[in-house]
Structure 1
Amino acid sequence: MYRHQQLLLALAVLGFGALASAPAAAAFQGNAYTGQNAASACQLSIPTTSTQVRPKATGFRNESATDSAFAICGYTNPTAGAVKTFILRTASMDGAAHTFNCTGVVGNAGTGTPQAYATKSITTTADGMAVSTSWAPADFGIESNFGATFPSVTCTLPPQVAIISTVSYADVDFINTP
């Protein structure tokens, strides 16, 4: 029995020595992102009985031939970190290019975090390929990131245009263990 205890003690000392001599874990900063189909991320900003604007499997679509609609899309923060950019992906559905405005909002109402707004003009391509439009801190006069905020984008969605998806990126500290 005594020999067995000595062997266990020797193994424990060797194990501790190996841990003590192992290199320290390195920390680095990377990106985390979350993407969402616009069918669940977007809705009508001004409720209406129009059935021409609705979520579909391929996004949030304005299927009207003549009427624009106000659509709003909310973003989630992929981590507890600070959101550094958010993206709206849109596409034409009728083979024509369309130009419209979308306004991004950062800051959380009622929390003391100042709210800021930035409007961008978006032009979809006639070929139906998705166009990505991003909002970064500089668009709002902010230096580094938006903090722990939940941005949103409101658009005047023209007829025959779909919002395909929303994506938000945040800074994350990772620990790299060897």
Structure 2
Amino acid sequence: MPRWSMIAPALVATVMLGSCSVPTDKHVSRERVQDQIVEEVTEQSGAAPDSVSCPGDLAASVGATLDCTLADDGQQRHVSVTVGSAEGDQVDLHIEQTIGRDTVTKQITEQISRQIGRAPQSVTCPADLGGDEGATLRCELRDSGKTYGVTVTTVNRGAVTFDIKVDEQPE
């Protein structure tokens, strides 16, 4: 059993799934989307993020999405905004924040480094970690010529935590 196979302490991050209704004229302006993200994050965490940046306006049609970036405490996270419904001049927005794969790989590397006294050779994750409770991501850790699977699981989507667990046996 590798020395780092224990469940790592959870990382606290703000990840949420929210919904809000905003007035529209066939699109929701970039500024309005950014304001809605700030409102949702502030409501969930009690503090506003440092900044939110979206590349443009969001079309007011069901299923339309816009990917934005949220910066807080020196970390950037991805925020996906999707139009859930659009009736008349009201649009229902669903906002989901994910933890970027770079942040997840960094946390795995730091945790393993603390446990074994040095960084592993490499850690890679194929995608961002979803913010919904129970969302999982399989990453890969390479060390001493062996490859181990790493499961990362979102535990709580409010003031979100995620757990890191390294497989006991190499692949």
Same fold (TM over 0.5): no
Higher RCO (C-alpha under 8 Å, 6+ residues apart)? 1
Instruction: Give TM-score scaled by structure 2 length.
Output: 0.31
